Structure 1
Amino acid sequence: LEAIEPFLPRVAFVTLLGTSIGVKGQSLSEEACPRLTEARALMRKAGREADIRLAADGGIRHETVPLLRAAGADTVVLGSLAFGDPDLAQRMAWLHGLKAAA
Structure 2
Amino acid sequence: MQNVRIAPSILSADFACLGEEVRAIDAAGADFIHVDVMDGHFVPNLTIGPMVVKALRGHSDKVFDVHLMISPVDPYVEEFAEAGADIITVHAEAGPHIHRTLQLIRSLGKRPGVSLNPGTPADVVDMIIDDVDLILVMSVNPGFGGQKFIESQLRKIEALRAKIDATGRDIRLEVDGGINAETAPRVVAAGADVLVAGSATFKGGPDAYASNIKMLRGE
- Three-state SS of the structure 2 residue aligned to 1:81 is helix
C-alpha deviation, 1:23, in angstroms: 4.4
Task: Provide the C-alpha distance between the structure 2 equivalents of 1:85 and 1:33, rounded to a whole number of angstroms.
Answer: 28
**Structure 1 ranges of 4+ moved more than 4 A:** none
Runs (5+) with no aligned partner, structure 1: none
TM-score with structure 2 setting the length: 0.41
Larger Rg: 2
2:173 alignment counterpart: 54
Asked if 1:82 is matched to 2:219, the reply is no
Asked if 1:63 is matched to 2:175, the reply is no
AA at the equivalent of 2:203: G
Asked if 1:73 is matched to 2:192, the reply is yes
Percent sequence identity is 33
2:147 alignment counterpart: 26
1:39 alignment counterpart: 160
AA at the equivalent of 1:41: A
C-alpha deviation, 1:22, in angstroms: 2.4
C-alpha deviation, 1:10, in angstroms: 1.9
Runs (5+) with no aligned partner, structure 2: 1-121
CA RMSD for the aligned pairs? 1.7
TM-score with structure 1 setting the length: 0.82
C-alpha deviation, 1:95, in angstroms: 2.7
Higher strand share: 2
| Alpha-carbon contact 2:180-2:216 (below 8 Å) kept | no
- Three-state SS of the structure 2 residue aligned to 1:28 is coil
